[in-house]
A and B are shown apart, each in its own frame.
Chain A
Amino acid sequence: MRLGSIPERLSRDRHNLGAASHIEVDQAAARRLGAGPLLERICPAHVYTQGPDGAIRINWAACLECGTCLALAPPGVLTWRYPAGGAGIAYRHG
């Protein structure tokens, strides 16, 4: 059984694209606390990727809204809220 890459998998999920990101990273705090590698690992949807310059890119449209990053990020690094009503992941099976 082929699972496919994470982006391939997520393309099978249904998402209602929101108007704006529901996630913000304080880049300075993230750099200072070395949060990049942690966020890359723990997010099951690979929303976070750290570039060679150390900045964290956020592919927020892929978010599964689990809340793992919020629970594990060092304090001050993340601002994370649920997306606006009706936006975001829309499971067909669950």
Chain B
Amino acid sequence: MDVDFDVIVVGAGVAGCVAAHQLATAGRSVLLVERGAQVGDKALSGGVLYCRVMEQIFPGFLERAPVERAITRNCLSFMNSDSFVNIDYADDRLGAPVNAVSVLRAKLDAWLGEQCEAAGAMVMPGVLVDRLLLEGGRVLGVGAGEDELRCHVVVAADGVNSFVARDAGLRDPDPPRHLALGVKSVIALDRSTIEARFNLPAAGGAGGLAEGAAYAVVGDCTKGVGGGGFMYTNLESVSIGLVLRLDDLARSGETASDLHDRFLDHRRVAPFLEGGELLEYGAHLVAEGGAAMVRGLVAPGLVLVGEAAGLALNTGLTVRGMDLAAGSALAAAKCVDAALAAGDCSAAGLASYEAALRASFVGRDIETYRRAPAFLEGTRMFNDYGPLLADVFHGVYNLDLSPRRRLVKTARAAVKASPVRLVDLARDAWAAMRAL
């Protein structure tokens, strides 16, 4: 077959860049097409990258890549209308070795694009792939306006809305309950203010990187809409926003931007941001269906990676997509390279990708958390547990001269007063153990 490139990668996000980099490094001729005017223009994430996999792909990643802070402090926050209960976990071990970093994707993706170029891939930004070239079900290349480019394998890395897979009839649109809208603001604050407000040690104990905090917020921050809030520290800004499950958002009658503003204005959140300046307001969808969304990974001449393949995980405590994007691209690149070497890029020739993905940390984690979406869909997690926890602590700390009760009794009274029944508590604890 006469081709322009061995491989054409559609989309220069984390998944596309890793795939292009790996295949170019293996000596394949690679074209990486990106619709943004520059690589990184369209990228938006919450921003905590679990970075061990990046270190494997790009040795020295933490020193070379534009990362913001090493996350050594994680907070799980239950937000209620008039209380705020936090599980605050800071641990030096999270910085040695560094496990997670905050990133701003416009910068990170631009750097990843440069790595692809350095590895020999041809990077073509400003081009929207508007169709696959198909012949009898076999993908032969991509089309963009009047241009047609042919290749042995197309890697679809075009993200959560993947029109490439949709238009080729490989994936139906996902149902709204498997998708969430992220609405995010980036707010400038100076370095020392961030370190003081987020209780961060100033001298970097995390391999020389500045240390940072990540808040995952559940409860009233979404006014009952399934999802949650996040607040991550960058070097000189804070990334903050909400993730709102689409089915619930539609049903709720709430306005997405109002929910975002209400979260930032909450009296326990606003002080973190006081005096800051809005740098950017953005929005992006994120896949939340877990294992149920991962399908149609391979077709003749085509593989899907990253969120185009439905790969993302929300466990309530962590949102992960970037590391899964990188991991899936790593697995795909290996299998595409082998298929090219064998001269068989049919579905059978590429099928080893599915098994490789399943065996990788990506497939294993998706499997481990397969019950998380259903667990998080239960509304108690969002609506009832925060107030219950607050009532328990209120009973402990509110020394109002009434005789004290033992903690167990206080807790039991709080459960009694809450809509959560003891049997629910037991059932949810069991479900949480199985799901998370």
Contact = CB atoms under 8 A, between A and B. Distances in A.
B257 A94 contact: no
A61 interface: no
Given A82-B128, A85-B144, A16 B280 contact: no
B161 interface: yes
Given A89-B42, A90-B38, A68 B280 contact: no
Interface in A13-47: 13, 16, 38, 40-46
A7 B394 CA distance: 42
A26 B192 CA distance: 52
Contacts of B130: 81
Contacts of A4: 278
Contact of B250 (A38, A87, A90, A92): A38
B35 A82 contact: yes
Nearest to A43: B256
Given A91-B44, A93-B106, A68 B283 contact: yes
Contacts of B151: none
Nearest to A6: B257
Contacts of B104: 93-94
B43 A91 contact: yes
Contacts of A12: 278-281
B183 interface: yes
B320 interface: no
Contacts of A38: 250
Contacts of B43: 91, 94
Nearest to B280: A93
Interface in B153-178: 160-161, 163, 173-174, 176
A2 B187 CA distance: 10
B127 A9 contact: no
B264 interface: yes
Contact of B246 (A1, A13, A71, A94): A71
Given A64-B283, A90-B37, A94-B45, A46 B257 contact: yes
A70 B278 contact: no
B246 A72 contact: yes
B249 interface: yes
A84 B44 CA distance: 19
B282 A85 contact: no
A72 B176 contact: yes
A93 B260 contact: no
Nearest to A9: B281
Interface string B180-217: 01110111000000000000000000000000000000
B15 to A, nearest CB: 15
B276 interface: yes
Contacts of B264: 1, 3
Contacts of A83: 128
B394 to A, nearest CB: 29
Which among A12, A70, A85, A93 has the greatest number of chain B C-beta atoms within 10 A? A93
B250 A66 contact: no
A10 interface: yes
Contacts of A90: 36-38, 41-42
A1 B274 contact: yes
A3 B241 CA distance: 13
B37 A86 contact: yes
A76 interface: no
B337 interface: no
B281 A82 contact: no
Contacts of B257: 6, 44-46
A85 B285 contact: no
Interface in B125-164: 125-128, 130, 144, 160-161, 163
Interface of B: 35-38, 40-45, 104-109, 125-128, 130, 144, 160-161, 163, 173-174, 176, 179, 181-183, 185-187, 237, 239, 246, 249-250, 253-257, 260-261, 264, 270, 273-285
Interface of A: 1-4, 6, 9-10, 12-13, 16, 38, 40-46, 64-68, 70-72, 81-94
13 contacts: A1-B275, A2-B278, A4-B278, A41-B255, A44-B257, A66-B284, A71-B173, A72-B250, A82-B163, A86-B37, A91-B44, A93-B239, A93-B282
Given A71-B246, A94-B40, 18 more contacts: A1-B275, A3-B264, A12-B279, A42-B246, A44-B283, A67-B161, A68-B181, A68-B256, A82-B161, A86-B36, A86-B125, A89-B282, A90-B42, A93-B105, A93-B239, A94-B44, A94-B45, A94-B282
